[in-house]
Amino acid sequence: MNILVILVFGFWGRYAKESVEHPIDSAFVTKQTAIAAQPVAIHYDIDFSTYFDNREYNSPYQHSQTILNFRLSPEVGVRITDRAGGHHVLTGGVSYTQRLGGDWRDVQFDPIAYYRFDYRGFAAAMGAIPYRQRITPLPDWLLYDSIAYYHPNIQGAYMSYRDGRGFVEFMCDWRGAQTVERREMFRLVLNGQLQYRWLQVGGLAHLNHKASFASPNHEFVMDDIHLHAFAGADLTQYTPLDSLSIRAGYIFGWQRDREVNESFHNHGLIIELYANWWFLGVKNTFYYGDNLQPLRPRNAFLCMGDPFYQSRIYNRTDIFAYLYRSSFVNFYFSWNMHYDGYRLQHQQQMIVHFQLEPLLAELAGRKRPNLRGLFDK
């Protein structure tokens, strides 16, 4: 933590001496130019998602269920552009999640409130920050889609830096404030990627911690740590496809239950393939190795990844089609097949994701890429 503080203040000292803009890319320049004429402006955005998720599972790791919800996340605040070209946003709002077919007892409200600073490709935010601000979503072995539906915000802090060579990002998600009835829980994630022509290399470090819990069924401290390194290739330019990439990685995990002073070490190989042409796409993830969640049977609150990764061999194939796709709407249907070492499981997802900010940017003449789906499709 001391190193992180030194880096932040070192950056701030350098930033304070700057008085000119340093463009990262054309999109950054366009945005700077458009905002420069309004040093103080109202910031507002609306994010909406609705999802149908039908799971036909018969597995020792999963159970069948159907999820049909919507989530509406409006936010409003103020945006300030300083003399050096830095952007400051202070905003608040709420994520309203409603189970369709339910009533007010099924409603979930998650506050949105954060301060964010952007300058020269560097970003830092603190508060309750929407997960969509991450450059890349967390892999499903770290964030299960069921949890992602109901856990829309990073509760703590987020930092990132990116340029034409790649990116690095860090988050602290404080997901459990300690009370008499609730344990303290948090996790730290540091990840990044470098790209040179078609070559991609990167990695991820993850610390998940659950404190002790003074209850009739006393629970002691548990730790969940992972390191992930990968290398891959973006082959899009060599094919007629809109996107084609493949990468292979190695995962090392260490879990500890301090109550019985027991530790688990696990290793695994993970291979990922992504291809997209026009409105069709396929995403395949293959994992072979040890159980990545050995402590899940003792405490499911510790692990936030997909329970299928308890299997020594697991393959997931998503075949999806965009029903509509633009800079502000992503609407797709996906048929997902899971092999858990026992049998083939099926899952169907239909997800609509709408975001207002890209639409406003396009109306202002700023071209934006297609909107990313909830699970990076």
- What percentage of the chain has pLDDT greater than the value 70? 86
Q: Residue 260 has what pLDDT? A: 78
- Give the single-character DSSP code of 8: H
In this structure, of 154-163, 203-212, 215-224, 353-362, the range with the lowest mean pLDDT score is 215-224
Residue keyed to tokens 């109306």: 363
The answer to whether residues 151 and 160 touch, using CB atoms and an 8 Å cutoff, is no
Average pLDDT, the chain: 87
- The confidence band for 97, taking pLDDT boundaries of 50, 70 and 90, is very high
21, two tokens: 């803009």
Least confident of 49-63, 113-127, 130-144, 299-313: 299-313
Whole-number Å distance between alpha carbons of 337 and 233: 25
Tokens of 158: 């987020």
More confident residue, 263 or 19: 263
**Residue 301: band (very low, low, confident or very high) from pLDDT cuts 50, 70, 90:** confident
Residue 33's H or E segment, with its range, is: helix 26-36
Is the pLDDT score of 157 beyond 60? yes
CA dist 150 → 123, 147, 300, 332, 370 (Å): 25, 5, 16, 20, 24
**Arithmetic mean of pLDDT, 334-363:** 95
When pLDDT is averaged across residues 5-22 and rounded to a whole number, the result is 40
Residue 16 has pLDDT above 50, yes or no: no
Q: What is the pLDDT of residue 2?
A: 42
pTM, full prediction: 0.85
pLDDT digits (tens, 9 = 90+) for 185-198: 889 999 999 999 99
Task: Give the pLDDT band of residue 26 (cuts 50, 70, 90).
Answer: very low
Give me the residue label for tokens 């020792």.
Answer: 60
Q: Which residues are 6's β-sheet partners?
A: none
Which range in 31-35, 84-88, 124-128, 223-227 is most confidently predicted, on average pLDDT?
Answer: 124-128
Per-residue pLDDT for 333 more than 70? yes
Angle at 182 between CA 180 and CA 187, to 5 degrees: 135
Q: Which fold has domain 2-363?
A: Porin (2.40.160)
